[in-house]
Structure 1
Amino acid sequence: MSSVASELPEMDATRFQHTPYYCEENVYLLCKTLCENGVADATGSDLFVVFISNEKKQASMSLFHFGIRKLVAELMGLYCGIIMSSASRKKESDSEPLVWDLDSTLPFPSPLTSYVTETIQLSFQLFAEYQRFFRIVHAPLFFKHFASDRRHMKEPDGTWTAQPPPYQPIVAQDGILHNLSEYITMSGADTLSSLDTETVTAAISQKLGVVVSHTQLQDLFTKLP
């Protein structure tokens, strides 16, 4: 997200790198691009990556604004198609976080409030085991620690379930080759019991960030430092 919706015109999402079914890598590269082109802070300090999953790894969202590739990603138990940026760079009272989602047909970027209304707040009640959780990871930590050698996209015989991106896999700064499962494993027990500023500040400084429920998502962004 960027800090103030009115200050940033809608962009063409198709101009950004996108490989179907590799949403976590798409988000990584989108974060990098937003940092490089000056939309975000150069270090990514105002960007947050969001993973969506649950204990069954079958997270549901409104599909009205999404294509089949997002549906498939959800059935695989992972959706990492969202970048949020806080309003920390500009402190205007009317500033609102924005959501950058390459898979959505909503404006790119979209204000957090409208994005939540259109895609996250479902019109039907989910069974408890399908409740969605959101892992929010600060982009500088994501850049440093995230790694994927794409093993989750291979069949037992080594064939690809979907054609991989043309660039090399993402390797963490410490040399780790794959840790995607750490980011998408989440449950109700992992969610914050309190959203006070001190708790949120401590949680967001961790490698894997913080896990919240869909009802906590918007409140979380009012507490970010």
Structure 2
Amino acid sequence: MSTLEVSQFTHTPLYCEENVYFLLKKLCKDGVADADGSDLFVVFISNDMKQIPLWHQKASTRADGIILWDYHAICIQLHMSLKPSGHHFQLFSEYRRSFRIVHAPIFLRFFASDRRHMKDPDGNWTAQPPAYEPIVAEDGTVHNLNEYMEIHASDELKNMEADLINSVFTQQLGVAISENQLEEFFAQIS
């Protein structure tokens, strides 16, 4: 397998959900992931306050790369999943993060964004949109990003029962879990 370079992927700053969408497609096409994406997951990160801290972000102006996002989306490949970082620390409660995990094959079929979330009240772009056309779901839906990025602590699974874990493989919006459950979730489904 050849080394992957960032320049090989479609990327538009501040459009993380679209970047992840095209990353999934590329990983499947190039044989880095299963052809159907069955080993890939999209993880949306947010909270009730729409303020989640993330580190090592290019958009940050700080040396440590920390930035507060209203939400963020990442891709996780099952066999490469999450490894404990050794950096366990307590965030202030207002920065507690929740995670929505969506199985990639489902996300690729149902996700849609017409980018309305990137316009100000006057209809002007807050960040330059990608040059390609907006993503439309297989069923013709033109925008459902809000449903994916809206994550509240009250949405989180309370336990890791098998039938709830299986929901990630069948539910359009996947499942919402707490930060403490993230590693456990991927350990149980691998």
TM-score, normalized by length of structure 2?
0.89
Distance 2:113 2:88 in 1: 31
Map 1:113-192 to 2 at 5 A: 113=83, 117=85, 121=87, 123=89, 125-192=90-157
Asked whether the equivalents of residues 196 and 223 of structure 1 are also in contact (C-alpha less than 8 Å), the reply is no
Q: What is the letter of the counterpart of residue 46 of structure 1?
A: D
Partner of 2:40: 47
Pairwise CA distance, 1:122: 5.5
Asked whether the equivalents of residues 101 and 168 of structure 2 are also in contact (C-alpha less than 8 Å), the reply is no
Q: What is the letter of the counterpart of residue 161 of structure 2?
A: D
Pairwise CA distance, 1:20: 0.3
Q: What is the letter of the counterpart of residue 86 of structure 1?
A: L
Q: Could you report, residue by residue, the CA deviation over 1:147-189 in whole angstroms, capped at 9, with x for unpaired residues?
A: 0000111112221111111100000111111111101111111
Runs of 4+ residues over 4 Å off in structure 1? 69-72
- Cα gap change, 1:137/1:181 in structure 2, threshold over 3 Å: closer, same or farther? same
Distance 1:160 1:133 in 2: 28
| Residue from 12, 19, 27 that aligns with 2:12 | 19
Pairwise CA distance, 1:216: 0.8
Pairwise CA distance, 1:197: 2.9
**Residues 1:85 and 2:77 aligned together:** yes
Partner of 1:66: 57
Partner of 2:26: 33
Partner of 1:219: 184
Q: What is the letter of the counterpart of residue 85 of structure 2?
A: T
Q: Which runs of 5+ in 1 are unaligned?
A: 1-7, 88-96, 99-111
- Cα gap change, 1:197/1:223 in structure 2, threshold over 3 Å: closer, same or farther? farther
Q: Could you report, residue by residue, the CA deviation over 1:50-109 in whole angstroms, capped at 9, with x for unpaired residues?
A: 110000111112x2x22226866x43x1111x211223xxxxxxxxx34xxxxxxxxxxx
Quote the RMSD (CA, aligned, Å): 2.1
Q: Could you report, residue by residue, the CA deviation over 1:179-217 in whole angstroms, capped at 9, with x for unpaired residues?
A: 111011111111111113332013442110011111111
TM-score, normalized by length of structure 1?
0.76
Q: Which runs of 5+ in 2 are unaligned?
A: none
The number of residues matched between the two structures is 186
Asked whether the equivalents of residues 103 and 168 of structure 2 are also in contact (C-alpha less than 8 Å), the reply is no
Identical positions, percent? 48
